[in-house]
Copies of this chain bind each other. A is one copy, B any other.
C-alpha cells in the first residue's frame, strides 16, 4: 500500500481559542487541512493548489475527530498526517495532533476525500496522481525523516514542482 507521512508544526492562534481556554473544536479540521496541504507539497511533490489548477478537486466526504487533550494559545503542535488511497476512488488522511514539547495527544482523526472535477462531479483519480503516490511512497523512509527534520511550515521551503 502506498503511504506518505509528514509532520507539520504550527502554533495555536488566539483566534482559535474559546472561552473554555482551550482551542475551539472546529479548528481541528482547519489544522487537518494545514497538515494535508504541507504533506502534499513536501511528500507528494505537488501542491493541492497545483492539483486544483489541473482541474482535480478533493472535496471532503467524511471526517472523524477524537478530542484527547487541551491546547492553549501559542502552544506548539505537531500535526502528523498520513495519506493513502481508500479503495479505488477515495483518498484518506489519518491525523494525530500532539503537543510538541510534551508529546501529549490533542486530537486524533481522519478525513476521507472524493476526487471531483471543477463542477464537483466525481471523477476517477488521474493516473499521474496514482503514480506519484506509488513512486513517492517507494522512497526510503530515511528520506522522509530527513525532510521532516527540516521541520516546520518553513517560509523558505523549497518550491515543489508538480
Interface size for A (C-beta < 8 A) is 49
Decide if B48 touches A74 in the complex (CB within 8 Å).
Answer: yes
A115 within 8 Å of B by Cβ? Answer: no
The CA-CA distance from A39 to B107 in the complex, in Å, is: 27
Decide if B18 touches A29 in the complex (CB within 8 Å).
Answer: no
Min CB distance A6 to B, Å, is: 13
Min CB distance A51 to B, Å, is: 11
A20 within 8 Å of B by Cβ? Answer: yes
Min CB distance A36 to B, Å, is: 9
Chain A residues 1-39 with CB under 8 Å of chain B are: 9-11, 13-15, 17-22, 24-30, 33-34, 37
| A-B complex: 6 closest residue pairs judged by Cβ atoms | A152-B155, A9-B155, A26-B29, A49-B74, A17-B19, A26-B26
